[in-house]
Chain A
């Protein structure tokens, strides 16, 4: 996975040996498979010089922990975390928009870091804490970030809003003293079509001031 830290303004390649295969690894496997057909099944093969697990083909058992609750699923390995959440678990706050890590509408937290759920395979999210926008409210009380979105009219059609809210939360949790400029950069992976950016800037101004 590629992690970008807007505060440090650097990117770093994160290697996680315990994970399954990311979409990128998956693509690597697809490209090498023609040359050297890997043995299928949950096996470890050498792909591009790195050990990667191979799942499938066909459905495999997948266990996801979403908003504190465990779910046992049968999924093809190619199913993304986003599609598993939406189509299997009916957790629909994260939206499918670009489906290739360009717009941020599917932002959810994976072990407290914002990720694009459209570009992480469900099998890779196993063993990690997945948090979606649905987990933010306490009973009927909105999270302060959500309340600020309401107060500053930072949603119109609302389709990008859950993604913005989750990206916002992840960023300010990690960077509690971030300046408005830093938060703006931290949210630059999310796009809106209606043009709610003015409202979001007001949210940033309000919450950065408070040090939220």
Chain B
């Protein structure tokens, strides 16, 4: 069998080096085409009428005036009268017209009567006893939960305990499978007991079963120190700069061509097929570039189906529906909130002995799951309760490292407060307890030492509230995190042409994470030719399928399939070239754009000459990476990383404004293919972390049920002036490289929020419980601290 293993360090000429992103030139020049840039001939412009109510029954819809408006070519009712809309901004009717102003006018002419219903858009702490009368799950409940990344075990346990309110049929299970429900979840649905649901099922509060391990009562009774606190993070949105949307056109009544902004090129057709009544094989999906996804663009959304239907009604003309900014922020996904009251028990020496938490949060109508708390630290004696709030704020979607940033904010905040209570440097507390972090404890130890050094932690760190100069308080904070990142299933076709040109084809996508760069580096390294010699084709269902880009699964997937394809193609080439070099294929190697005899390097052909020996016929090899590790021989990807984030902040105690002065990220991700874009992922994650730590919140209006800040003025993202010195250190070399390729998109974004929150606590000597850490909350925390001191004095 050919040797697919990654070349070792001394044989790598490209892998692990700092190589410029191959698609940068096309992006900086404005030539890169995104879905939003596609303009088909005779394209129609689609617009969507959205519900103004957070919850309402649709009584009637009258589209006659819109249909009569000159320039309107098609009208599609998305939700029929009788349907209940679950959030403000939900899609009701879509129209397509010859230009955008006309489409906007047409939407205004649609008359919809609603019967507004009571709604909930708050995610404040549930009242005592809320959710105790939880009932069986309806189809919608399960659907919502499955799309909310509730941990499988949690959902299964709930299903077992409370049952379902409907007869489970195969169609439903198939739907759930299509939405990504695991086999374990499908089995749990099948086995769930049936209970009728009087009064329509659940309340807004869904209490999950309490979880207890060890003996928490004893641990707290025997603790030297117990620290208590309140921690959390609100709902935030993805705010992709390119909104969700697509342009769909029909070649004939059975063949759809859709251009869509997606993280999941190979998975879209199957999602659209059933709704449109065509075979998935007849749907071509295309995307050259995507302007951000962050976890929110895996599905063919309702507006995408609407665009395809409008196009069909309009005789196949392309119909574009790209969401307006307000719709993008209201309905195209959000990160669930998570809040918790936490108690931590510890011994005097800092050994953590117990954890208690009552947590709550919302991911919209689905409620959402408990974040994985306590995070990273496997605290021995635990008692946890979680209440999911099922409300009408809009849908949740995976947001870069689903549930982990929230878990880090809660856990690392609680441990930081514990350290303060113990008069310990948190770095020492973390190091003291690394034994309970599991298999990556030594990675954390190594990373914490490096991070501390890069931050100058030991020189700079002061106990809480003791680094104040005038009105400026300075503080340090830290957090650690983990993620999986194993490569997804991926197929790659690599073709060597007789003229020496090389094509690589794969139905993957580059989210700006450097996927293109990763693929061409692996292909070029394997064939020992320059990366410019590789023609890469991605983003189309014409190419072999590759997994959706989520969960940091892309680098492992695409690099493995590319490596296998390139090795197989190289072996096939050797077989054709061997006679010309008077050698056995097994004696040949590719080195520096040459094919040569290993034992006698003087016998060689340059790349083009060698390829010309193929005759007239090109050769293609397909490489496959399987999602299941044991099916890969050898396995070129791996799972499980650890990382550290540290923050140095300055707080103006008069204005409450927090300025981040420096951030450090230390991260491992196995074998790094391109160090330059890997580091950029971390720099980007730190910036995003600063943004959600200090500015971001989806603010709901309790009075109207609508989002108050669906724009980029009041939904604030960090800007250039908010970004301080960022230091990134990637773990490489022995202990890391030989693990294989592991994804990097999620992990570095997990710790920054927790690290910044802890740094603020260190600076001002008190905890701002909930992100974002806005000036009003800082001032409130300072006031509370002053009052506590006065009361104490």
Task: List chain A positions with a Cβ less than 8 A from chain B.
Answer: 76, 78-79, 83, 86-87, 90, 92-100, 102-103, 105, 132-134, 136-137, 142, 146, 149-151, 153-162, 165, 184-185, 187-188, 190-201
Contact indicator B711/A197 (Cβ below 8 Å): no
Contact indicator A105/B726 (Cβ below 8 Å): no
> Roughly how many angstroms separate A191 CA and B37 CA in the complex, as a whole number?
19
Contact of A194 among B25, B29, B243, B292 (CB under 8 A): B292
B738 touches A (CB below 8 Å): no
B128 touches A (CB below 8 Å): no
A-B contact pairs, 13 of them (CB 8 A): A92-B36, A95-B34, A100-B713, A155-B28, A157-B289, A157-B291, A192-B241, A195-B691, A197-B687, A197-B723, A198-B687, A198-B723, A198-B726
Q: Shortest Cβ distance from A120 into chain B, in angstroms?
A: 16
Chain B's interface size range is 35 or more
Question: Which residues does chain A contribute within 8 Å of B34, judged by CB atoms?
Answer: 92, 95, 159
Q: Which residue of B lies closest to A156 (CB)?
A: B512
> Roughly how many angstroms separate A200 CA and B239 CA in the complex, as a whole number?
20
Given known contacts A134-B31, A153-B24, A103 and B712 CB-to-CB distance under 8 angstroms = yes
> Roughly how many angstroms separate A102 CA and B721 CA in the complex, as a whole number?
15
Question: Which residues does chain B contribute within 8 Å of A105, judged by CB atoms?
Answer: 241
Question: Which residues does chain A contribute within 8 Å of B37, judged by CB atoms?
Answer: 86, 92
Q: Which residue of A lies closest to B510 (CB)?
A: A157
B513 touches A (CB below 8 Å): yes
Q: Which residue of B lies closest to A140 (CB)?
A: B25
Contact indicator B680/A149 (Cβ below 8 Å): no
Contact indicator A153/B717 (Cβ below 8 Å): no
Contact indicator B712/A159 (Cβ below 8 Å): no
> Roughly how many angstroms separate A162 CA and B240 CA in the complex, as a whole number?
16
Contact indicator A184/B720 (Cβ below 8 Å): yes
Q: Shortest Cβ distance from B239 into chain A, in angstroms?
A: 6
Q: Shortest Cβ distance from B34 into chain A, in angstroms?
A: 7
Contact indicator A156/B241 (Cβ below 8 Å): no
> Roughly how many angstroms separate A188 CA and B722 CA in the complex, as a whole number?
10
Contact indicator B712/A95 (Cβ below 8 Å): no
> Roughly how many angstroms separate A99 CA and B513 CA in the complex, as a whole number?
26
> Roughly how many angstroms separate A102 CA and B328 CA in the complex, as a whole number?
15
Contact indicator A142/B726 (Cβ below 8 Å): no
Known: A99-B325, A146-B29, A196-B683. 15 other contacts (CB 8 A): A83-B100, A87-B39, A87-B99, A95-B291, A153-B676, A157-B292, A191-B241, A191-B719, A194-B512, A196-B684, A196-B687, A198-B726, A200-B720, A201-B720, A201-B723
Contact indicator A99/B324 (Cβ below 8 Å): yes
Contact indicator A193/B717 (Cβ below 8 Å): yes
Question: Which residues does chain A contribute within 8 Å of B718, judged by CB atoms?
Answer: 195, 197
Q: Which residue of A lies closest to B717 (CB)?
A: A191
Given known contacts A157-B291, A188-B720, A200-B720, A100 and B30 CB-to-CB distance under 8 angstroms = no
> Roughly how many angstroms separate A100 CA and B713 CA in the complex, as a whole number?
9
Given known contacts A102-B712, A158-B23, A162-B30, A97 and B241 CB-to-CB distance under 8 angstroms = yes
Question: Which residues does chain A contribute within 8 Å of B691, judged by CB atoms?
Answer: 195
Q: Which residue of B lies closest to A149 (CB)?
A: B28
B101 touches A (CB below 8 Å): yes
Q: Which residue of A lies closest to B29 (CB)?
A: A137
Question: Which residues does chain A contribute within 8 Å of B325, judged by CB atoms?
Answer: 97-100
Q: Shortest Cβ distance from A199 into chain B, in angstroms?
A: 7
> Roughly how many angstroms separate A194 CA and B686 CA in the complex, as a whole number?
10
Nearest first, the 4 A-B pairs at minimum CB distance are A93-B30, A195-B687, A159-B291, A157-B512
Contact indicator A160/B720 (Cβ below 8 Å): no
Question: Which residues does chain A contribute within 8 Å of B720, judged by CB atoms?
Answer: 184, 187-188, 190, 197, 200-201
Q: Which residue of A lies closest to B30 (CB)?
A: A93
B137 touches A (CB below 8 Å): no
> Roughly how many angstroms separate A102 CA and B713 CA in the complex, as a whole number?
6
B685 touches A (CB below 8 Å): yes
Contact indicator A100/B711 (Cβ below 8 Å): yes
Question: Which residues does chain B contribute within 8 Å of A133, judged by CB atoms?
Answer: 29-30
B27 touches A (CB below 8 Å): yes
Contact indicator B33/A92 (Cβ below 8 Å): yes
Q: Shortest Cβ distance from A58 into chain B, in angstroms?
A: 11
> Roughly how many angstroms separate A160 CA and B39 CA in the complex, as a whole number?
20
Contact indicator B684/A194 (Cβ below 8 Å): yes
> Roughly how many angstroms separate A150 CA and B691 CA in the complex, as a whole number?
24
Question: Which B residues, 663 to 697, have Cβ-Cβ distances below 8 Å to chain A?
Answer: 676-677, 679-681, 683-688, 691
B242 touches A (CB below 8 Å): yes
B511 touches A (CB below 8 Å): yes
Contact indicator B513/A158 (Cβ below 8 Å): no
Q: Which residue of A lies closest to B23 (CB)?
A: A158
> Roughly how many angstroms separate A95 CA and B256 CA in the complex, as a whole number?
26
**Per-residue CB proximity of B369-395 to A under 8 Å, as 1/0?**
000000000000000000000000000
> Roughly how many angstroms separate A202 CA and B85 CA in the complex, as a whole number?
48
Contact indicator A153/B241 (Cβ below 8 Å): no
Contact indicator A136/B29 (Cβ below 8 Å): yes
Question: Which residues does chain A contribute within 8 Å of B24, judged by CB atoms?
Answer: 149-150, 153, 155, 158
> Roughly how many angstroms separate A162 CA and B324 CA in the complex, as a whole number?
20
Question: Which residues does chain A contribute within 8 Å of B31, judged by CB atoms?
Answer: 93, 134
B32 touches A (CB below 8 Å): yes
Question: Which residues does chain A contribute within 8 Å of B294, judged by CB atoms?
Answer: 193
Question: Which residues does chain B contribute within 8 Å of A146, judged by CB atoms?
Answer: 25, 28-29
Q: Which residue of A lies closest to B27 (CB)?
A: A158
Q: Shortest Cβ distance from B330 into chain A, in angstroms?
A: 14
Contact of B513 among A92, A137, A156, A196 (CB under 8 A): A156
B290 touches A (CB below 8 Å): yes
Q: Which residue of B lies closest to A93 (CB)?
A: B30
Contact indicator A193/B239 (Cβ below 8 Å): yes
